[in-house]
Structure 1
Amino acid sequence: MSSESSAVTHNRRDQLRDFLRTRRARLTPGDVGLVAAGRRRTPGLRREEVAVLAGVGVSWYTWLEQGRDINVSAEVLDAIGRALRLTDPERAHLYLLAGLNPPPSGASRDTAVPPELRQLLDAWAPRPALLRDRYWNQLAVNDAARALLGYDDTGHNCLVTFFTSARYRDLHVHWASVAQSVVAAFRADAARAPGDPEFARLIGDLSAVSPEFTELWARHDVGVPLQAVKAVRHPEAGDLFFDLTTLAVTDHPHWYLELYHPRAGSLVVPDPG
């Protein structure tokens, strides 16, 4: 082990020690359903109380909090996280400090778009913009995305629209050549949530109505959404070329903002209004 990696490991364990102590100190026995007994010299739960709540040995938890070199599992970290009432970001932080990759956070079913995000979409006009979730469901679109890219209003799925909307297909010049990369990117997203019934439902429903999707899905190609160029042949505006950039919305896991910007040298996008 290099001196640099040893220093990093030592620093991580120091942070783990301080993190567990501070999380323990902010709780009282009453917060976790325990009866306080005796006078406490310091605030918060005792180590043995956390160990009991998590179902681990007191010595083992003490060693973990001391930052010793011990083996930890995801199951035990989850139990400690529950005992300490950790939030999802705190649980992910605990995983990292313990030297494990944090599990994927659960996808929120809340589709209420904050007004700040809607204002951002509208402010991007006359350039198209849309907000989607991990399943590629449209959560919000601006007027330019409707008028220039052929998207319907919210409540639709981008992948379903891509394969089933005749209007969308007619607008997009290189539809056939990008279909394979679209399906490959969707497979990569689905693979991050194995067993998710919503992905399975979408794949099954689309396979039932689109032979093209079925054929491409059977290839098992995997890709990632990269910065891409979208070419649109609009009946009134003519040929339009956009650079597409996809941004993650950090305070809403599994939400993604797609921003379309006219390519340098292309025609100015007309105001769809």
Structure 2
Amino acid sequence: MPDNQLGEFLRARRERLRPQDVGMASYGVRRVTGLRREEVAVLARVNPDYYARLEQGRERHPSPQVLDALCRALQLETDARTHLYQLAGTAPSDQFTHTTDHVSPALRQLMDGYPGAPAFVINRTLDILATNALADILYSPFEQADNLARMTFLDPAGRQFYPRWDWTAEATVVNLRQGAGLDPDNPRLRELVRTLTEHSADFTRLWNTHGVRGKTQDAKHLRHPDVGLLTLTYQAFDVRDAPGQQLVIYQAAPGSPSAHALNLLGSIHATWNQTQPYPR
């Protein structure tokens, strides 16, 4: 008899949840551990008989829409969700992935462990969620270092800070488009696009091209008023326990003028802190 890993997984996860965990009332003596099949079907908005067939192994190929609904009903975390999709023989839809703007203390500590490299965390809408000390001073020419798209298109400092402004503007928009595809109903995204469209003809023109691209490994060319031109490479890391967040770390080639400039920026930050805390 063929194994039934999909059904066994669904049943095991169902048994881990209690009615109160999912906001359901519980009446009388319960003869099952955790939720009943019918309760999961109600939460996922699928036919109870269909859900029963999934657990029993009589149905083995649910649609991505059904899988998304089951992930929500069973409150599956990222790894468990991916595993469910693998058992069903399909790829997960990134649109389901919940995002958070909370940056964990452990990640902040990791960023602060790179005093010689600007490091910051962004989300899919390019909001800057956290920075280390050197990223603070790197972005100090901007009125507010809050969102990379807003800084590029609406802050007067943007065109001076980015010597290759046209290239930066296009890269920013295609990155934002990618985030829109992953989370199209994000209210923060709609608000940001509306603001940028209202106030920037350049953004509107680029946004309407519908270009989509993730982050590349192209060097960043920046101009800081205190140290001049910098050429920096960077690495972007997905934050495993916070889907939608990326940790970005800039670095300069050892011994290069840009490395010297970053060291100088660090010294400026240290001098600043002797008189007043730098805003973060």
TM-score range, shorter chain: 0.7 to 0.9
What are the Cα deviations for residues 168-200 of structure 1, in whole angstroms up to 9, with x where unaligned?
431222122332122112111112222333212
Q: Following the alignment from structure 1 to structure 2, what is the Cα–Cα distance between the partners of residues 193 and 156?
A: 20
Q: Shift of residue 230 of structure 1?
A: 0.7
1:35 aligned partner, one-letter code: G
2:170 aligns to what?
Answer: 180
Residue correspondence of structure 1 range 101-112 to structure 2 within 5 A: 101-103=91-93, 104-108=95-99, 111-112=101-102
Q: CA deviation at 1:81?
A: 5.2
* Residue 44, structure 1, aligned to residue 33, structure 2: yes
Does 1:22 pair with 2:12?
A: yes
Of residues 229, 235, 259 in structure 2, which corresponds to 1:239? 229
1:146 maps to 136
Matched, 1:65 2:52: no
Percent pairwise identity: 32
Residue 219 of structure 2 contacts residue 233 of structure 2 at CA under 8 Å; is this kept in 1?
A: yes
Cα separation, 2, equivalents of 1:101 and 1:166? 43
The answer as to whether partners of 2:123 and 2:245 remain within 8 angstroms in 1 is yes
Distance 1:198 1:149, change over 3 A: closer
Per the alignment, residue 202 of structure 2 pairs with 212
Q: How many residues align structurally?
A: 253
TM-score normalised according to structure 2 size: 0.75
CA distance in 2, matches of 1:251, 1:52: 29
CA distance in 2, matches of 1:115, 1:199: 25
Separation in 1, partners of 2:12, 2:98:
28
Give the superposition deviation at 1:69.
4.9
Question: Is 1:131–2:121 an aligned residue pair?
Answer: yes
Amino acid paired to 2:96: S
What's the secondary structure of 2:219's corresponding residue? strand
Task: For residues 71-92 of structure 1, give each alpha carbon's deviation from its aligned partner in whole angstroms, at most 9, with x where no partner exists.
Answer: 4235544565566x43343445
Q: Cα 1:122–1:154, aligned 2, differ >3 Å: closer, same or farther?
A: farther
Asked if the contact 1:150/1:171 (under 8 Å) is kept, the reply is no
In structure 2, relative to structure 1, the CA distance for the partners of 1:63 and 1:138 (3 Å cut) is same
Gap regions ≥5 residues in structure 2:
271-280
TM-score normalised to the size of structure 1? 0.77
Decide which structure has the larger Cα Rg and report it: 1
Task: Please tell me whether residue 121 in structure 1 is matched to residue 108 in structure 2.
Answer: no
Q: 1:105 to 1:73 in 2, by over 3 A?
A: closer
Structure 1, gaps ≥5 residues long: 1-9
